[in-house]
Amino acid sequence: MTTILLAHSVVKSLRQGCIVGRRVGNTSGWLRLQTAKLFSVKAQTAHLVLEDGTRMKGFSFGHDTSVAGELVFNTGLVGYPEALTDPSYRGQILTLTYPIVGNYGVPNSQELDELGLRKHLESERIQVSGLLVQDYSYEYSHWNSVKSLRQWLQEEKVPALFGIDTRMLTKIIRDKGTALGKIEFDGQPVEISDPNQRNLVAEVSTKETKIFGKGNPIKVVAVDCGIKHNIIRLLVKRGAEVHLVPWDQDLMSLDYDGLFISNGPGDPSLANTLINNVRKVLESDRPQPVFGICMGNQITALAAGAQSYKLPMGNRGQNQPVLNVRTGQAFITAQNHGYGIDSHSLPPGWSPLFVNANDGTNEGIMHNTKPFFTAQFHPEAKGGPTDTEFLFDSFISLIKKGQDATVMSVMPAKPYIPPRAKVSKVLILGSGGLSIGQAGEFDYSGSQAIKAMKEENLKTVLMNPNIASVQTNEVGIKQADSVYFLPVTPQFVTEVIRAERPDGILLSMGGADCTQLRS
């Protein structure tokens, strides 16, 4: 047991949303803080052990029990309640790369929505095997929080460590690939094991059929590979009566308007029964649309005859850029998968639909003539951006249009991009006016704006009242074609515009300075 010294603000207004709970290496450094008081907590020590022998010491803020799993990382800044309850994380020890976790607590994990689903979570329980963070915040503040992350983890008996160098750990996974490891407490030995050797889909799937949105006009059969709650919500919201069925359900015997195959954990090739069931649907004359997400993308591709493979480190986060290969449209997506589909192995009649702009991996496929399509990313978000939520609308539109509909006919049209305006000279308005006694700061944004314009071969006119900002930057002096040391006011800006006749104006300052220019 180790005593960890912590600090928090004594000013109530500063405590709201304050990030605390950092392990202190030099106590005297904290004692010099006049607005902080010290307190301590006792934390059980444990070790993170990788399969290559790497050991990292950490401090427990979850359940004190040893556990093994696959080490993965998520780059999202927020959304740990949703991430921890995502069934796609079954069997994995999750590393959160954002350095401070827990400062907004946890919402009511038992509260249900109108469908009887956990309102703030993505499944009935925490799905990860363990959690790793750099700093844990013992203090939390959020209007919707009812408990701390620590309390929630202990209630669900999930181990978690803070004090882990998550930056170094993430680099190890990035450079060497996803690794196996374990969280080990003294006196609780556990063997490292690979969860991907198990059929994880079978572990997280429902054991019986459940119906949501009963009475809605469109019947959608959703194969539960580890479905997130928000997928069900979005389908019901669009008029679907969702029949959630087990992963190994015989699909040819069911009557439905559309077939949905959900996200889920693990190696898709181990779900042989599901692959065979989907293959029968794809090869039949059934006209009903098929839509798959994440694991659903992999299952559909395998059923069509393509091949899957394990990604070096997987894509897990909320800012993955994806391109529609047909229209060139770009979207920011939430993702959580460790396996991918080889686009080159797609059989005739199938084509890639989406591609990852970072690593070029497949992000979705479509049939060229039949209403079958998939997405490797998560259009339902929770957490993450909602750029691609329209895919649920596309699925419902396919159902409503019937046999004559094609996948591209229900996708958003390629947006019109107007021709680029011809610009040769730009007026850059730098940092705002300085009053007597006010410290002058280097106009970094103005300098960067000049560099950006130069890269476009544009002439630049810098209007900046802060002489020191330009004179102290040797490169900056030579960057702008013309420099005016004048107050940034409507009168002087108008005079400069008349003298220089720029094609455009770029404001590199913001806030109150911008409001001064409003006429």
Active site residues: 294
Q: Which helix (H) or strand (E) holds 481?
A: none
Output the CA angle 91-97-98, nearest 5 degrees: 125
Q: Identify which of 215, 221, 196, 207 has the alpha carbon closest to the alpha carbon of residue 298.
A: 196
C-alpha separations of 450 from 272, 369, 502 in Å: 58, 50, 14
Contact of 371 with 357, CB cutoff 8 Å: no
Instruction: Measure CA 69 to chain center.
Output: 22
Q: Identify which of 474, 480, 470 has the alpha carbon closest to the alpha carbon of residue 449.
A: 480
Q: Identify which of 204, 413, 178, 201 has the alpha carbon closest to the alpha carbon of residue 299.
A: 201
Q: Identify which of 273, 298, 300 has the alpha carbon closest to the alpha carbon of residue 289.
A: 300
Q: Which helix (H) or strand (E) holds 213?
A: none
Q: Which residue has the tokens 């993430």?
A: 170
- Kind of pairing between the strands at 210-212 and 240-245: antiparallel
The encoded tokens of residue 371 equal 């209403």
The encoded tokens of residue 417 equal 């991009």
What secondary structure does DSSP assign to 362-422, as a single string?
EEEEEESSSSEEEESSBTT-SSS--TTTHHHHHHHHHHHHGGG--TGGGSPPPPP-PPPP-
What secondary structure does DSSP assign to 424-456, as a single string?
-EEEEE-S----TTPPP---HHHHHHHHHHHHT
What secondary structure does DSSP assign to 163-203, as a single string?
S--HHHHHHHHHHH-SEEEEEE-TT-------GGGS-HHHH
Q: Which helix (H) or strand (E) holds 154?
A: helix 149-155
The phi, psi pair for 110, rounded to 5°, reads: -105, -10
CA distance 96 to 61: 15
Cis omega before residue 239 (within 30°)?
A: no
